[in-house]
Amino acid sequence: MPMRNFNPVTASLRGTVLIDRSDLWKGKPVKGLTEGKNHTGGRNNHGHITSRFRGGGHKQSYRAIDFKRRKFGVPAVVQRLEYDPNRSAFIALIKYQDGELAYILAPQRLRAGDMVEAGERADIKPGNAKPLAAIPVGTIVHNIEMKAGAGGKIARAAGTYAQLVGKDSGWAQIKLMSGEVRLVRAECIASIGAVSNPDNMNQKIGKAGRSRWLGRMPHNRGVTMNPVDHPLGGGEGKSSGGRHPVSPWGQPAKGYKTRGNKRTDSMIVRRRKVGK
C-alpha cells in the first residue's frame, strides 16, 4: 500500500504520514464472522490497572480469522481485502467453492479475484497454505504453527515473514526476521508469502488524538513523577542522572533479559542477534 502525505494546512497535519487504505473494502465486515468485544481499559477482574496507559478508543468488533487453514483441497476466491482494527495486517475475505466464507491474513501481492488453497498439493504462491514438509527450502512463509493443528502463531504482524532454511528428520528450521532460527515440526501448516501492509512501521501518527482513537492514553515518564510513585521520581528540575533506568517496580530496563521460557529453549537453534 502507498503512503499518504498531507499538506500542512493544520499544525497536526505537518509531518503526518498514514497508510493509503483507499483500495480496501469500505463497508462493514461479514456479520457472521464478527463478535462483540469489550474493552478492559487495562484493568483486571478486580478493577486494578495491570496495563498502564490504556483506555478509551473507538469501539471495535472482533473478526474471526482462520489461522488453522485446515480446509484442504477446496479452492477459494478472494472476495475483498479489509482493514482489521485488531491487528496491524490487512485481512482477506475468501469464499470456498462450497459457499463457506472465512477471513485469512492477507499476504503481500494478494488481490481480489485471486484463488487460494490449502493442502499439500497447493501451488507455491501467496495466500496458499501447506505443511512445512511440502514447502521447498528457501520459501518465504508466514502464519506458522508451533504445534500441529493449533493455528498459526509466528509471523502474523504487518510486513513480517520467516524463511524455511532446512528440513531434517521430521523437523523444519525456520529463520525469523530477528535472525533467530527455530525448529518446528514439519507437519505444521504455514502460509506462503509475507504479511501485508509492510509500510505500517513508517506511519507517523501526527497528533495525540489519533493515539486516543487507538486506545492509547498519555504516557507519563518516571522522571516526571514523585519519589513515592516511581524510583526515578523526585529531585529539583530535570534531575534524571545517576540512576539506572528501571520500571516502577524496580526491574532494570534497556538491555535486561526477561525471557524465562526454558521449556522451548531446545527449539532454538540459533539465538537472535542482540545489539549492544
What does residue 103 show for φ and ψ, rounded to 5 degrees? -100, 140
pTM score of the predicted model: 0.92
pLDDT value at residue 144 = 98
Phi, psi of 35 (to 5 degrees): -150, 160
Q: If pLDDT is split at 50, 70 and 90, which confidence band does 241 have?
A: low
Compute the distance between CA of residue 199 and CA of residue 211 in angstroms, rounded to an integer.
Answer: 18
| Helix segments in the chain, DSSP class H | 208-213
74-83, 139-148, 261-270: which has the minimum mean pLDDT? 261-270
Place of cell 508451533: 146
The per-residue pLDDT for 240 is 67
CA 10 – CA 215 distance, rounded (Å): 23
**Structural domains of the chain in order of their starting residue, each with its CATH number:** 3-200 (2.40.50.140), 227-266 (4.10.950.10)
Summarised one tens digit per residue, pLDDT across range 14-35 is 999 999 999 999 999 999 999 9
* pLDDT for residue 140 is more than 70: yes
